[in-house]
Amino acid sequence: MKQTLRLLSLALVVLAMLPARGTSIWVNGNKITGSTTISTGGGTVTYDATSKVLTLNNVVFSRSGSDNNGIDNDDVEGLRIVFTGTNSMTINNASVVIPGNNSVIEVAGGTTTFKCTATNQNAIALYGDNVTVRGAGKLVLESTNGPAIQGREGSSNSIGFASAKSTPAATTCTT
pLDDT tens sequence across 9-49: 544 443 333 334 456 788 888 888 888 898 887 899 999 99
The pLDDT tens digits for 79-126 are: 999 999 999 988 876 677 877 788 888 999 899 988 888 777 778 887
Gap between the Cα atoms of 117 and 15, Å rounded: 40
Q: Give the model's pLDDT for residue 85.
A: 95
List the one residue out of 93, 43, 89 whose CA is nearest residue 70: 89
Gap between the Cα atoms of 77 and 49, Å rounded: 11
- Strands 53-57 and 80-84 come out as parallel
Q: Give the model's pLDDT for residue 18.
A: 37
- Contact between 52 and 79 under an 8 Å Cβ cutoff? The reply is yes
List the one residue out of 117, 112, 111 whose CA is nearest residue 95: 117
Q: Give the model's pLDDT for residue 10.
A: 46
Instruction: Quote the DSSP letter at residue 89.
Output: E
Residue at 156: amino acid letter: S
* Residue 163: other Cβ atoms inside 10 A: 12
Q: What is the pTM of this model?
A: 0.77
Instruction: Quote the DSSP letter at residue 58.
Output: S
The pLDDT tens digits for 129-141 are: 788 888 888 888 8
